Amino acid sequence: MVEILPSLLSANFARLGDDIARMERAGVSMLHVDVMDGHFVPNLTLGPPVVKSIRKVTKLTLDVHLMITAADRYAPVFIEAGADQVSVHQEACPHLDRTLRMIQSEGALAGVVINPSTPVSALEEVLELADYVLVMSVNPGFGGQQFLRHTLRKVEALAARRRSSGATFRIEMDGGLGPENIADAVRAGCDWAVAGSSIFGSEDPETTVKRMQQLAREATAVRA
Ligand code: DX5
Ligand code: ZN
């Protein structure tokens, strides 16, 4: 089943608990949390205390996306704060194999992320190890950017690779997704679709989530 993951980056940070409750009512099972350090990406967001506070108000799976250079240092801190799964950028991790194993040994699922300019081939040696692969469909750093269509080919390549190898990693997409292109992402092979501004920037976020879930279900039927 394809999951829609609301990205809290576009939620109202002064009323985060309310926005999370709305997403629970809409029926999501996972939330996406963006961590930015002002070095790896030109923006700053939130740290472990915020994840700890989120953890206290929801049982939903917390998917923490680290856009930071010091991933090895902070991944365990975010897991301790309540992250269920943590993804790190291939571009930021020189010892990717070690980093992914460390995340798993700390008790979380380990994901690896690639920027729009990074080829799938850069992941060749970690596809058996990673629990999930996150294909960025915008350049990371900000919500509300335009979807980069060439990234669909990378999702297709990963899905083909998964079929032929018997690997079990899930495929996540992040950036510029909304009702207009969710079907394209799902048909390409996306299992987890992150969406921020298209949900929280819409008039009725709950309805938008439900609409995206429905469109994803229909596209899954075509895929199968
Ligand atoms: C971008 C973040 C995304 C962001 C997506 O760097 O990783 O998770 O919240 O936002 P939208 O859906 O608005 O592109
Ligand atoms: Zn993200």
| Average confidence (pLDDT) over 63-75 | 98
Report, as residue numbers or ranges, the catalytic residues.
34, 174
What is the Cα–Cα distance from 221 to 103, expressed in whole angstroms?
A: 33
Say what the pLDDT of residue 222 is: 81
**192-195: strand order across its sheet:** 3-6, 192-195, 170-174, 132-136, 109-114, 85-89, 61-67, 30-36
Task: Indicate the pLDDT class of residue 166, thresholds 50, 70 and 90.
Answer: confident
Percent of the chain at pLDDT exceeding 70:
100
Q: How many CB atoms lie within 10 A of CB 76?
A: 18
Say what the pLDDT of residue 88 is: 99
Ligand 1-lining residues (CB < 6 angstroms): 7, 9-10, 32, 34, 65, 138, 140-145, 174-177, 194-198
Say what the pLDDT of residue 224 is: 61
| Average confidence (pLDDT) over 71-87 | 98
| Candidate of 34, 35, 40, 43 to mutate for ligand 1, largest count of ligand atoms within 8 Å of Cβ | 34
Say what the pLDDT of residue 56 is: 98
Diameter of the chain measured on Cα atoms: 46
Structural domains of the chain sorted by starting position, each given as residue range(s) with its CATH number in brackets: 3-223 (3.20.20.70)
Residue 186 has pLDDT above 90, yes or no: yes
Percent of the chain at pLDDT exceeding 90:
98
Quote the pTM value: 0.98
Instruction: Give the nearest ligand 1 atom to 145 CA.
Output: 14
Instruction: Report the chain's mean pLDDT, rounded to a whole number.
Output: 98
